[in-house]
Amino acid sequence: MLDMGYINKLSEYVGKKINCSIDEKRIVIFADAEVNYILNKLDTRYILSMSERGVKTKLAEFHSKDEMVRSFSFWMRGLLGNSIDYPNVSKFEDVENLDVLENLIKQYTNCNLYSINQMSGDKIVLTVIEEDFYELSFVDRTQKKHLIEHRERAPFIFERFYTEIIHYGEMLKRLEDYTIIFDEKLSYENKLQLLGYSK
């Protein structure tokens, strides 16, 4: 299914040594004494599960080997690597004014990753849909909206806007690292899928 060459690259991608067992139809990643991640091949499908203290939970299903290799890598980085840090989230907890939000967002995030009230490709977009109600979406380069939150109020939606921008920035970094470490060029659709904005 996957070989030790892949596992070595996966260790580099995740940022730590991966302890695992591999056979033709199954990989078990040992996270700790109680948690394992299991990838099983069933015909043409691949099922990723978590086993915690003997209780199995299905996490994902992949329908091709290419999708499995890419997605499994992303899953393992998210589960075993460093978690995403949201260092300034508390500054957004009580914000209810859009002008205040704009100043804070400029100060604490990358302005290339978001837009407010303007459809802009490959960005997280916050839109006022009516007085006191907002919509949060990812707009891809074709201007297609991928809805994240709809008809929400401040302060929740402003805090969510901040965390989604930080998350998006981290996922872009993971994409970049993946293409370098695994030496793979990804199509735009593959990128959207790995970012979580495509079905």
Report whether 51 contacts 36 (CB < 8 A). Answer: yes
Mean pLDDT, rounded, of the chain: 95
Would you state the pLDDT for residue 97? 95
Instruction: Tell me the average pLDDT across 61-66.
Output: 94
Residues 87-101: tens digit of each pLDDT: 999 999 999 999 999
Question: How many CA atoms, within 13 angstroms, populate the side-chain half-sphere of residue 113?
Answer: 18
Beta bridge partners of 145: 139
pLDDT in tens, 107-163: 999 999 999 999 999 999 999 999 999 999 999 999 999 999 999 999 999 999 999
Task: Work out the average pLDDT over 50-58.
Answer: 97
SS3 of the chain: helix, strand, coil, percent, to 5? 40, 30, 30
User: What is the reported pLDDT for 198?
Assistant: 80
Cis preceding-peptide flag for 87 (omega within 30 of 0): no
The H helix count followed by the E strand count for the chain is 5, 9
Cα R_g (the chain), whole angstroms: 19
Q: How far is residue 82's CA from residue 196's CA, in Å, rounded to a whole number? A: 19
Would you state the torsion angle of the CA atoms of residues 89, 91, 97, 100, taken in this order, to the nearest 10 degrees? -110
The predicted pLDDT at position 199 comes to: 59
Give the separation between CA 79 and CA 37, rounded to whole angstroms.
Answer: 9
Claim: this prediction has a pTM higher than 0.85: yes
Q: How far is CA 121 from CA 85, 105, 162, 179, in A?
A: 25, 18, 18, 22
Q: What is the mean pLDDT of residues 1-11?
A: 93
Do 59 and 50 form a contact (C-beta atoms < 8 A)? yes
**Domain map of the chain by residue range?**
4-83, 89-172
> What's the confidence (pLDDT) of residue 55?
97
Q: What are 191's two structure tokens? A: 């990128």
